[in-house]
Amino acid sequence: MTVSIKNLALLFLGLSLLFACKKPTLDDDGLLPDDQLGLSYTDTFTVVAELFIDDSVRADELAVNLWGAMEDPVFGKSYGGIYFQMSTDRSNVDFGDNLTLDSVVLTLLYSNQGYGDLSVPQNLNIYRVTEQFFKDTAYFQFNSFLTDATPLATVNGFVPNFTDSLEINDSVKFAPGLRIRLDDVLGNDLLANSGQNNLASDEAFKAFLNGLYLAPDTNAPGKGMVYFDIFAANSKLTLYYNGGETFDFLINSNSGSVNNFRHDYLGTDVQAALDDGITNDALLYLQPMAGVAVKVTIPYIDSLGKNVAINKAELVFTDIGDTSVFASPTQLIFTETLANGTEELVPDLFLSTAFAGGNRTTEVDGAGNTNWVYKLNVPRYLQKVINTGEQYGLNLLPFPTARQANRVVLGGSTHGQSPLKLRLTYTKID
């Protein structure tokens, strides 16, 4: 998708939308003034929903990076790997004479915890990147870079510890994170370039040490994704030398990063739905990390005619999945597909997130059962469809789509107990 969801907050603050609708004009709450009310209600409109792969998600310089090899009984296997650069805030770095390496250590702090069951061990590998990439260049979830064949470090049976602080030199404590010694070959290479051109500037350093890759073991998946804050103040590469000297290569605002995501749906219900091109199915599958998304259209909305004002248009999705291990996302959003095939946020989101809705909440159905639902309000979008006669589809996505692993199973249009519904309130204009 061409919209960068990670910049959604900036769009809310920096953009405004001039929405021209035919008479009448909606007020700031998306409703008609009281003196024009003559409301009608229906929840019987056909809603068509189908799965597709959200195959172009921006994944560079994310605030949260996802690592792991996760096996989900419904969604199959998902993988997250992290490419990142180190930076130096000094020019002409010179470690001195008669250099002897003690060790080189990578520290990456966690961002909260993660997703799924992280007590199931995974295997972790760290590689040296041999292909240059650049901060502020647009990279997507499918971008990957060449690395050395031999890892700089391997941890078999890795289980993250989110409770204990990291302790360094028996005195300095950091927030929980991964702290791992890398192969001496890297440390000796850094020392050998002391006072040389490769350490003359930050740009030269990045061209010399392109970065590191925190890689998942795709042959031994676990059941979760670990969330890293690689830009935390104490995430860094530390060189220890000469029996007590240290030097930190920082991971900071000058460093580039790319989160690489992959999915394997082989043998899953998700793959069957994608292969069959099923629409109006009983089940809908939604996944971030450039996974499966849902396209929604309302084919007969034009039967209302042109002389109509949409007061409220709530698309209601019921969460029907097992969330005991794999929790559902807390918020869903819509983008809309334009005539040229690109996507942008629906106009209702520009009014406010509270107006557009999409948060996971509870609702009591007609039988007295309490269900988890997502209610997304799109009256301005539907009014535009009615006014223009053009509809290219709404795209339902978890938010944020690149900084979480939470997936969800929703009731589709033909689900017997919890079908997808459009709850529409409108006014006919004489």
**Is the confidence at residue 95, as pLDDT, over 70?**
yes
d(CA 288, CA 403): 8
pLDDT recorded at residue 31: 47
CB 186 within 8 A of CB 179: no
**Is the confidence at residue 367, as pLDDT, over 90?**
no
The answer to whether the pTM exceeds 0.85 is yes
CB 396 within 8 A of CB 5: no
Chain segment 324-343, per-residue pLDDT in tens: 999 999 999 999 999 998 99
46's tokens: 């056909």
**Is the confidence at residue 219, as pLDDT, over 80?**
yes
Chain segment 128-168, per-residue pLDDT in tens: 999 999 999 999 999 999 999 999 999 999 999 998 777 66
Is the previous residue joined to 24 through a cis bond, with omega within 30 degrees of 0? yes
Residue 37's pLDDT band (cuts 50, 70, 90): low
Residue 21's pLDDT band (cuts 50, 70, 90): very low
**Is the confidence at residue 60, as pLDDT, over 50?**
yes
Query: Mean pLDDT over residues 402-419, rounded?
Result: 95
pLDDT recorded at residue 112: 85
**Is the confidence at residue 239, as pLDDT, over 50?**
yes
pLDDT recorded at residue 160: 95
Residue 35's pLDDT band (cuts 50, 70, 90): very low
d(CA 120, CA 108): 20
How far from each other are the two terminal CA atoms of the chain, in whole angstroms? Answer: 40
Query: Mean pLDDT over residues 339-366, rounded?
Result: 93
The 3-state secondary structure of the chain, one letter per residue: CCCCHHHHHHHHHHCCCCCCCCCCCCCCCCCCCHHHCCEEEECCCCCEEEEEECCCCECECCCCEEEEEEEECCCEEEEEEEEECCECCCCCCCCCCCCCEEEEEEEEEEEEEEEEECCCCEEEEEEEECCCCCCCCCCECCCCCCECCCCCEEEEEECCCCCCCEEECCCEEECCEEEEEECHHHHHHHHHCCCCHHHCCHHHHHHHCCCEEEEECCCCCEEEEEEEECCCCCCEEEEEECCCEEEEEECCCCCCEEEEEEEECCCCHHHHHHHHCCECCCEEEECCCCCEEEEEECCCHHHHCCCEEEEEEEEEEEECCCCCCCCCCCEEEEEEECCCCCEEECHHHHHCHHHHEEEEEEEECCCCCEEEEEEEECHHHHHHHHHHCCCCCEEEEECCCCCCCCCEEEECCCCCCCCCEEEEEEEECC
pLDDT recorded at residue 281: 82
pLDDT more than 90, % of the chain: 81
pLDDT recorded at residue 15: 35
Is the previous residue joined to 400 through a cis bond, with omega within 30 degrees of 0? yes
Residue 5's pLDDT band (cuts 50, 70, 90): very low
* Nearest partner of 130 among 107, 110, 150, 146, judged by Cα: 146
- More confident position, 279 or 104: 104
Q: Give me the chain's average pLDDT, please.
A: 90
d(CA 180, CA 238): 10
